[in-house]
Amino acid sequence: MASTPTALDPDAIAEARGLLEPPTRRVRMWPVLAAATALAVASLAFATAMLAAPPLTVEHVAHDAPR
């Protein structure tokens, strides 16, 4: 079957279809990196506070109470 001649340029049609496609969104990495950095800093701060805190001492009141 023979194709009928057309006045449409295939390259122009391909370019128009490319322009009609929605643009692809780029993934931004800065918010992810900022959140990971904040989490790492908070974790290090809590670990430092845990190591720097004085140890807990438990003394029973009944042990030192007068008899």
Q: Which amino acid is at 37?
A: T
- In this model, does residue 1 exceed pLDDT 70? no
Distance between CA atoms of 49 and 35, rounded to whole angstroms? 21
* pTM recorded for the entire structure: 0.49
pLDDT band with cut points at 50, 70 and 90 for residue 65:
low
Q: What beta strand segments (E) does 5-63 contain?
A: none
- Separation of alpha carbons 6 and 15, rounded Å: 17
Render pLDDT for 3-60 as a digit per residue (tens, 0 to 9): 677 788 889 999 999 899 888 888 899 999 999 999 999 999 999 999 998 877 767 6
- What are the DSSP calls for 2-14, one per residue? PPPP-SS-HHHHH
